[in-house]
């Protein structure tokens, strides 16, 4: 019969096993799991495009787009004092050849200004065959990754054909895919063998772990006697040997590669793009979320300081787009691109140059629920954010950030 202790341990083991078996494979990489306010009120991405969605190993893909740092930044999220533009892909399917923010190299981490817009360009080279959902993303220190729109991209070909050749400062052409690999493996094996020998030696020098701890307690001040003169000699040889090997390897590497530069870990500040609002001012009057209808309804006071009449064509937030097809049209780029092609409508018509007018807009789509944005109404402050796009008769676009408290309506 089982005793109490064994029974408890067995139950714990069963629980751990059940939880492990219950865990389903993760098919996405977290874009819906981030809190709604985080996606709506931090980094707002738009105009994100990829140069191709099908390519072969060694071919390049360019991702471009813009991002806006939302003016009503959540107080509990670290501001972008140190941030790094990246691409989120499951596994090393691509390598990054270069990245640019407003034309400046994105090699270093960057400081960004809240309330400003930047454009980016990332050049990738296909490394192995895969079909992946790739996202633009911004890593912000102490805030984590802020994820941009995703695109399905398919890479075909053989990874064995992949090359990543670069020319060094000294004019030598090397393939980074294999460069230094043999040397790295050699040194890993060397230190692995040394470490294993050291470990094995001590395993056979008397009691180990808890029995040794007990013996040390028992011997008290005389515990040092457990270390024999032979043990001390082996330790000394190991110490001197390690120092000699490390010193020799350092000078040997320096002799082989006398010209090097350190890893780039600096930080730069990049000036923002000109104001994308182009003279259109918007004031939020009120906003409601109609729960059963899956609709955001907001009233805004718009002042048009441009020279042309403008109409409301799009609302975007959390990488989802609600289009007003009478003004601006867009279709989903792929099966997972959340574009509500007929999702937006508004009352109020065009805003004439110099005119101030109230517009009442409605953004409807199941995406509010399926992308978990509706969870916003359960937040303590229930504030939303997003970008609205106005278009004049010539197709010129004004991009304005809007946001504020959101009142849920159930009836």
Partner 1 sequence: MLKTLYIIVFALMSTASWGHGGVMNEGNECKLRVGPYVMNFSGYQPENNVSKQFCDDMPTIGKSIIVLDFIDNKLRDMTVNFRVIKAEVAALGTADDGKVNNAELAQTPFFEIPAKRYPTGTMTITQDFKEKGHFVGYVVIEGENEKFISRFPFSVGYPNPGIPAGLKIPIAVFLVIIVIMIWLARRKPVVLNERKED
What does the binding site for partner 1 look like in residue numbers (CB under 8 A)? 2, 4-5, 7-8, 11-12, 14-15, 18, 22, 214, 217-220, 291-294, 332, 335, 340-343, 364-367, 369-370, 408, 410-411
Residues 309, 391 contacting (CB under 8 angstroms): no
What tokens were used for 72?
Answer: 């009503």
Residues 273, 348 contacting (CB under 8 angstroms): no
Q: Is 53 exposed, middle or buried (0-12, 13-18, 19+ CB in 10 A)?
A: middle
Please name the helix (run of DSSP H) or strand (run of DSSP E) that holds residue 228, with its range, or none: none
Question: In angstroms, rounded to a whole number, what is the distance separating the alpha carbons of residues 330 and 342?
Answer: 9
The smaller minimum CB distance to partner 1, of residues 19 and 169, is found at 19
**Shortest Å distance, C-beta 410 to partner 1:** 4
Sheet of 383-392, strand order: 339-340, 320-323, 310-317, 383-392, 397-405
Strand partners, 108: none
Question: In angstroms, rounded to a whole number, what is the distance separating the alpha carbons of residues 257 and 18?
Answer: 54
**Shortest Å distance, C-beta 63 to partner 1:** 23
The smaller minimum CB distance to partner 1, of residues 251 and 410, is found at 410
Query: Measured on CA atoms in the order 363, 365, 367, 369, is the torsion positive or negative?
Result: positive
**Shortest Å distance, C-beta 292 to partner 1:** 5
Nearest to 127 by CA among 86, 82, 152, 163: 163
**Shortest Å distance, C-beta 405 to partner 1:** 16
The smaller minimum CB distance to partner 1, of residues 340 and 406, is found at 340
The smaller minimum CB distance to partner 1, of residues 2 and 199, is found at 2
**Shortest Å distance, C-beta 53 to partner 1:** 17
Reduce the DSSP state of residue 185 to 3 states and report it: helix
What separation in angstroms does the CA of 165 have from each of 6, 178, 263, 310? 59, 10, 19, 50
Residues 59, 125 contacting (CB under 8 angstroms): yes
The smaller minimum CB distance to partner 1, of residues 14 and 237, is found at 14
The smaller minimum CB distance to partner 1, of residues 267 and 370, is found at 370
The smaller minimum CB distance to partner 1, of residues 233 and 366, is found at 366
The smaller minimum CB distance to partner 1, of residues 35 and 245, is found at 35
**Shortest Å distance, C-beta 218 to partner 1:** 5
**Shortest Å distance, C-beta 8 to partner 1:** 6
**Shortest Å distance, C-beta 361 to partner 1:** 15
Strand partners, 137: 86, 147
Query: Measured on CA atoms in the order 242, 247, 252, 253, is the torsion positive or negative?
Result: positive
The smaller minimum CB distance to partner 1, of residues 281 and 382, is found at 382
Nearest to 57 by CA among 132, 158, 178, 165: 158
**Shortest Å distance, C-beta 319 to partner 1:** 15
Question: In angstroms, rounded to a whole number, what is the distance separating the alpha carbons of residues 192 and 362?
Answer: 64
Strand partners, 314: 323, 389
């Amino acid at each position: 019969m089982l005793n109490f202790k064994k029974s408890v341990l067995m139950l714990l083991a069963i629980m751990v096993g059940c939880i492990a078996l219950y865990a389903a494979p993760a098919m996405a990489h977290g874009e819906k799991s981030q809190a709604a306010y985080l996606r709506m009120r931090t980094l707002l991405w738009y105009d994100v495009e990829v140069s191709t969605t099908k390519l072969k190993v060694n071919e390049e893909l360019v991702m471009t787009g813009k991002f806006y740092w939302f003016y009503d930044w959540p107080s509990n999220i670290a501001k972008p004092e140190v941030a790094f533009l990246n691409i989120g892909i499951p596994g090393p399917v691509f390598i990054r050849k270069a990245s640019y923010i407003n034309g400046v190299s994105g090699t270093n981490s960057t400081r960004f200004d809240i309330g400003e817009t930047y454009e980016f360009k990332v050049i990738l080279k296909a490394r192995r065959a895969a079909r992946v959902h790739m996202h633009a993303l911004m890593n912000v220190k102490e805030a984590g990754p802020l994820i941009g729109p995703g695109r399905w991209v398919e890479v075909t070909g053989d990874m064995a054909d992949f090359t990543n050749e670069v020319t060094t400062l000294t004019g030598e052409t090397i393939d980074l895919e294999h460069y230094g690999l043999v040397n790295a493996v050699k040194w890993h094996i060397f230190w692995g063998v040394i470490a294993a020998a050291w470990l094995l030696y001590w395993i056979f020098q008397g009691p180990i772990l808890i029995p040794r701890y007990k013996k040390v307690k028992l011997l008290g001040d005389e515990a040092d006697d457990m270390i024999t003169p032979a043990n001390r000699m082996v330790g000394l040889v190991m110490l001197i040997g390690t120092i000699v090997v490390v010193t020799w390897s350092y000078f040997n590497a320096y002799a082989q590669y006398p010209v090097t530069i350190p890893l780039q870990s600096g930080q730069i500040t990049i000036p923002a793009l000109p104001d994308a609002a182009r003279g259109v001012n918007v004031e939020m009057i009120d906003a409601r979320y109609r729960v059963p209808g899956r609709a955001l309804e907001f009233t805004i006071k718009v002042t048009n300081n441009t020279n042309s009449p403008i109409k409301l064509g799009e609302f975007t937030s959390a990488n989802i787009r609600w289009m007003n097809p009478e003004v601006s049209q867009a279709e989903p780029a792929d099966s997972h691109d959340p574009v509500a092609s007929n999702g937006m409508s508004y009352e109020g018509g065009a805003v004439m140059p110099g005119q101030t007018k109230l517009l009442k807009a409605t953004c409807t789509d199941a995406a509010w629920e399926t992308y978990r944005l509706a969870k916003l109404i359960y937040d303590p402050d229930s504030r939303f954010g997003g970008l609205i796009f106005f278009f004049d008769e010539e197709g010129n676009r004004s991009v304005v950030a809007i946001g504020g408290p959101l009142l849920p309506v159930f009836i």
